[in-house]
């Protein structure tokens, strides 16, 4: 069964997932900004588009942001 939150089929058409590519080419600030952007995007559109699925996508990006900060000892 397809998992449209954690592993959308349209993001895995090539040999690398889009998120992995983004993480390999973006600067730290660009990457952190992209995570935050996606959290805000999915939370903001939740009631107009995909409901609970969008909130789960927001959580996925928030978890990715937290994991990055924990693993890279980024302090602000």
Domain boundaries, the chain: 27-76
3-state secondary structure of 7: strand
pLDDT tens digits, one per residue of 6-47 = 766 666 567 788 888 999 999 999 999 999 999 999 999 999
DSSP string, 10-34: GG-SSSS-HHHHHHHHS-HHHHHHH
pTM given for the model:
0.77
């Amino acid at each position: 069964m397809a998992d449209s939150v954690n592993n959308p089929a349209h993001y895995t058409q090539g040999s690398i997932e889009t998120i992995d590519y983004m993480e390999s080419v973006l600067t730290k600030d660009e990457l952190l900004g992209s995570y935050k952007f996606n959290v805000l995007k999915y939370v903001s559109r939740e009631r107009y588009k995909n409901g609970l699925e969008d909130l789960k996508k927001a959580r996925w990006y928030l978890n990715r942001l937290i994991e990055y900060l924990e693993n890279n000892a980024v302090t602000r």
